[in-house]
């Protein structure tokens, strides 16, 4: 699986939330960390597209420096005034939101974000692979012509 661009989901793909086997999770997190660092060492482009509200905190818990990612796309954090302004001025209506800890978090569909990222960087679709644990998201990414890997949330990426 030698590609130029490696794109990942975070929860239950890089970070195993659902797996209850603590020893396995600990070993997996070491392996995935090494895998990501080796990709970067090999000059691969690495992207993180997540709905996690605080991906940098999760990455730091895994001893993964967020700076190894060329892009981290996560929900946009807004206060009430910013959120009202966003609603008033936006024409893009296929987003969802979460209110947590006194902030609004705006989420755009991953397939749209990834498609935009690819176009902005002129990537060849055959050079990209995307990893996610959600079949629905995998299908939407695959529909735009990207190679995908459906990840078992109890096992993670098979490295």
Q: What is the pLDDT of residue 119?
A: 92
Residue 156 exposed, middle or buried by CB count within 10 Å (0-12, 13-18, 19+): buried
pTM value?
0.85
pLDDT above 90: percentage of residues in the chain: 68
Rounded to 10 degrees, the C-alpha dihedral 94/55/113/76 comes to 50
Lowest mean pLDDT among 54-68, 74-88, 96-110, 138-152: 96-110
Identify the band that residue 52 occupies on the pLDDT scale cut at 50, 70 and 90: confident
Q: Which residues pair with 107 in a beta bridge?
A: 96
CATH superfamily membership of 5-74+110-150: HAD superfamily/HAD-like (3.40.50.1000)
pLDDT tens string 91-119:
655 555 565 566 555 666 788 889 889 99
pLDDT of 142 higher than 60: yes
Radius of gyration of the chain (CA): 16
Residue matched to tokens 């078992």: 152
Residues 117-144 have a mean pLDDT of: 95
């Amino acid at each position: 699986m030698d590609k130029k661009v490696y794109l990942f989901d975070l929860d239950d793909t890089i970070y195993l939330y659902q797996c209850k086997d603590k020893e396995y999770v600990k070993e997996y997190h070491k392996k995935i960390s090494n895998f990501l660092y080796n990709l970067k060492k090999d000059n691969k482009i690495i992207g993180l597209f997540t709905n996690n509200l605080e991906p940098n905190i999760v990455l730091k818990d895994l001893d993964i420096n967020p700076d190894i990612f060329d892009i981290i796309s996560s929900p946009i954090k807004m206060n009430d005034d910013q959120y009202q302004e966003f609603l008033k001025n936006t024409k893009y209506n296929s987003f969802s939101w979460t209110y947590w800890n006194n902030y609004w978090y705006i989420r755009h569909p991953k397939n749209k974000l990834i498609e935009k990222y690819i176009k902005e960087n002129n990537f060849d679709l055959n050079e990209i692979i995307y990893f996610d644990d959600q079949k629905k998201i995998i299908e939407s990414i695959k529909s735009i012509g990207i190679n995908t890997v459906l990840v078992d949330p109890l096992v993670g990426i098979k490295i």
